[in-house]
Structure 1
Amino acid sequence: MDESDAALLARTALGEERAFELLYARHATPLIAYAQSILGERGLAEETLQDTFVAVWRGAGGFEHRSAVRTWLFGICRRQALKRLRGRQPQTAPAEWAEGVPSTDPSPEAVVIARADAAAVAGALVTLSVQHREVLDLAFGARLSQTDIAEVLGVPLGTVKSRLFHARAVLARALPAEVERTAG
């Protein structure tokens, strides 16, 4: 039976390298994908992953069990990635992301997204703001719950729901144009 993340982290806090290696093996792939989605470069994402696990090694004993270990790891990774972004030109989100209240019903936009092929989605993703890409990465790439996403991002749950709603809408609007380009 696999050890829980909490047990591995507790053993890591005691200096057990094997537990640390298992924690790394279990979480490195989604963390590097998340870092790359924030930074846009594989090399910077790899450096961020290294910094993340250095922080985990050093801070394992300080884990307070207020969240899942996985959520804690994504929070550390996010902070490390944002440190690397300092000094770069900040991107601003379009005003429409803050409009309206998200619906829990599947929308026409969600149907379009579900039917689009991966290449079209990848092309449309580049049209999204950083906030929209990040929330989609955490929800669909890392498969974190909305509550965990709110904790990682340090924002209220309602903000996460709003960002997800508007990210899907912006992505869905971008997809028809992207599908036409790839088909033509």
Structure 2
Amino acid sequence: MSEISTASADPVEDGPDLARARGGDDDAFTRLVEPLRRELHAHCYRMLGSTHDADDALQDALVRAWRGVAGFEGRSSLRSWLYTVATRTCLDTVKGRGKRALPIDLGPASDHALVGDIPRTDVEWLGPYPDAGLEGGPASRYEQREAVELAFVAALQHLPGNQRAALLLFEVLGFSAAEIAATMDTSVASVNSALQRARRIIAEKVPSRTQQQTLRLLDDTRLREIVAGYSSALERGDADALVALLTEDVTWSMPPMPHWYRGVDAVMDFAVSVPLTTCGSWRHLPTSANGQPAVACYLWDEAAGAHLCWSINVFALRGERISEITSFIGREHFAAFGLPGSLA
């Protein structure tokens, strides 16, 4: 694996663990990469749009890095070299499958409730990201959470793999165009062209105000009130309380269900027809996903005698109201968040 040249070097590279890892010491290699594992995983998620794909890609990348560490000469920082390995691994994954999508990518919004909507299994769906524990100080956490926001990751999926990688390496990770060219085995001119095209598409699809900017204007107490108000409204079946939390142009989508709703009238028609009346008893746990407030939703199951995990609902806010609800349906999402499978 070739190295890119950077001016900075990680302090750990001057220690004994690097020499031991080069000599085949697996424990030393683990100690070297462990502090970087979380941010590398977030990078893989941004590239692939799936926590499960990110798990697989990171594992594959670390195996590749372990096999290649004997040839690591320290001309780049260890961090940069590992990002190179992870990026190339993700690019291989991108080549093997199509982009991940949200319902909004499939067609126009529905203007009335569709009871009994059927999941689409022929679509590779975007998934939520459990962002708790991102590494670094307050500024670093802010930047990393902004870079995993749902709108940004969804927009990335509209880019070819090379544009996606170039944008992330340049805008999020601070690589130079020359470093990116070395990472991707291409020319600086090709990297600059990819960046220009990627920025144009991202600008079209990502709101000018990020969720991190919005959330910084809300105190923690008010944010908890909004999340608790949503949970309470569903648990009580209170349509008036729910509508009071929403913007006029709110959207609600529920991957893997293909249909979605835009506008408070359509959203409330769906809410009153399905989750507030048809589904049954709900319970909720607050969480965080993609740098945004979220709740884990549990639906009563009579046979189990408990509320079973149902969806991770991720909110986008505008001011103090909810402008987007993305309900990622599926119990497979819960383990990554460290959430229980059921509530007694």
Q: Under a length normalisation based on structure 2, what TM-score does the superposition of the two structures give?
A: 0.38
Instruction: Quickly say closer, same or farther: Cα 1:78–1:128, change in 2 above 3 A.
Output: closer
Counterpart of 2:173? 142
Counterpart of 1:36? 45
Residue by residue, what CA displacement relative to the aligned partner does 1:31-79 show, whole Å, maximum 9, x if unpaired?
2222222322211211111111122222211224454433322232233
Q: How does 1:11-90 map to 2 (within 5 A)?
A: 11-65=20-74, 67-89=76-98
Give 2:194's match in structure 1, choosing from 156, 163, 166.
163
Q: In 2, Cα distance between the equivalents of 1:55 and 1:79?
A: 10
Q: Percent identity?
A: 31
Q: Greater share of strand residues, 1 or 2?
A: 2
Shift in Å at residue 156 of structure 1?
Answer: 0.8
Give 2:161's match in structure 1, choosing from 126, 130, 139.
130
Q: In 2, Cα distance between the equivalents of 1:7 and 1:140?
A: 33
Q: In 2, Cα distance between the equivalents of 1:125 and 1:15?
A: 37
Instruction: Name stretches of at least 5 consecutive residues in structure 2 with no aligned partner.
Output: 1-9, 101-145, 211-248, 251-315, 324-344
Instruction: Quickly say closer, same or farther: Cα 1:33–1:63, change in 2 above 3 A.
Output: same
Q: Greater share of helix residues, 1 or 2?
A: 1
Decide whether the 8 Å contact of 2:44 with 2:58 is kept in 1: yes
Decide whether the 8 Å contact of 1:5 with 1:70 is kept in 2: no
Which protein has greater RCO, CA pairs closer than 8 Å, 6+ apart? Answer: 1
DSSP 3-state at the match of 1:154: coil
- Whichever residue aligns with residue 172 of structure 1, its letter is A
Decide whether the 8 Å contact of 2:170 with 2:176 is kept in 1: yes
Q: In 2, Cα distance between the equivalents of 1:39 and 1:122?
A: 9
Decide whether the 8 Å contact of 1:135 with 1:160 is kept in 2: yes
Instruction: Name stretches of at least 5 consecutive residues in structure 1 with no aligned partner.
Output: 92-115
- Whichever residue aligns with residue 57 of structure 2, its letter is T
* Count of aligned pairs between the two proteins: 160
- Whichever residue aligns with residue 143 of structure 1, its letter is G
Residue by residue, what CA displacement relative to the aligned partner does 1:154-181 show, whole Å, maximum 9, x if unpaired?
1111221222222222222334699987
Instruction: Quickly say closer, same or farther: Cα 1:122–1:160, change in 2 above 3 A.
Output: same
Counterpart of 1:4? 13
Shift in Å at residue 12 of structure 1?
Answer: 0.8
Counterpart of 1:95? none
Decide whether the 8 Å contact of 1:36 with 1:44 is kept in 2: yes
DSSP 3-state at the match of 2:12: coil
- Whichever residue aligns with residue 152 of structure 1, its letter is T
